[in-house]
Amino acid sequence: MKNKVFALSLVLLLATARAGEGPEPKATGFDKKPLGIRFSIKMIGPYTQPADLQIICLLKHKPSGDTYQGAAKETDTHLGGILSALRNRGEFIGELGETFLFTPPSGSIPAKRFMVIGLGDEKDLSLNSLRVVGRIAARESVRLKASHVAWAPVIRDEGNNTINVGQGDRAFVEELLAAYDTEKRLQDQGLADKFSIEDVVVEAGPTFFDGAVKEVGEGIDSTLVELGRRSGTPYFSTGK
């Protein structure tokens, strides 16, 4: 019953924000801008946040039926059922690291492009799954030249409570930063085109907002320490 009440509250909150009624959605930023990225935690759903690239995660498809509630259900509805159609037809399985990218139908959601990253089989879900997603998110954002990125795990909205939401957000952000640091080093060495991600919004529901702020903030600090220990030696040698 508690989950149903939370899901309904989140849907009502986001619907109100979308309609332009009431205050702006709650958001918390961080003093540090690691690698030039402005991170924030925002109480908003993936069907409401403007972005160059909106990313969500989905568990591996279940032939018996996938769970959609709260933000996951609303997102699928706003997208005209694209997510459920692809899964039910077996065209997106949701293996860990599997992705699909599409342009949302005109007038559906404000994001310019939408990407789904698979989380794999539900029984195998772990923080490592979110780490894989974080690395993919960084590299795909750079490849697609998406300056403004938003991400929502929507794991709770798929009926799974295995992972602490804040810790999952932290794992995602830590690995996104680590992968992005590599991308920037490649650029600095002339091995990739210059491009920078400007901001990343981590979308969180009211129940998990404070935990996400705490964990992501700590994750940024710890990752910056680790990145400071990386070798500055170029990736390639001229052999001279």
| CATH code for the domain in which residue 45 is found | 3.40.220.10
In a domain, 221, yes or no: yes
Specify the DSSP class assigned to residue 69: -
In a domain, 134, yes or no: yes
Q: Exposure pattern of 195-225 as b/e (b: 16+ CB <10 Å)? A: eebebbbbbbbeebbebbbebbbebbeebee
**Domains identified in the chain, total number:** 1
Over residues 178-234, the pLDDT tens digits come to 999 999 999 999 999 999 999 999 999 999 999 999 999 999 999 999 999 999 999
In a domain, 107, yes or no: yes
Q: Whole-structure pTM over 0.85, yes or no?
A: yes
CB 37 within 8 A of CB 199: yes
Over residues 93-136, the pLDDT tens digits come to 999 999 999 999 999 999 999 999 999 999 999 999 999 999 99
CA distances, 235 to each of 179, 182, 189, 230 (Å)? 15, 10, 8, 12
What pLDDT is attached to residue 12? Answer: 39
Range of the domain at 221: 2-228
CA distances, 157 to each of 7, 75, 218 (Å)? 8, 11, 25
In a domain, 220, yes or no: yes
In a domain, 8, yes or no: yes
In a domain, 191, yes or no: yes
In a domain, 206, yes or no: yes
In a domain, 236, yes or no: no
What pLDDT is attached to residue 205? Answer: 94
What pLDDT is attached to residue 77? Answer: 97
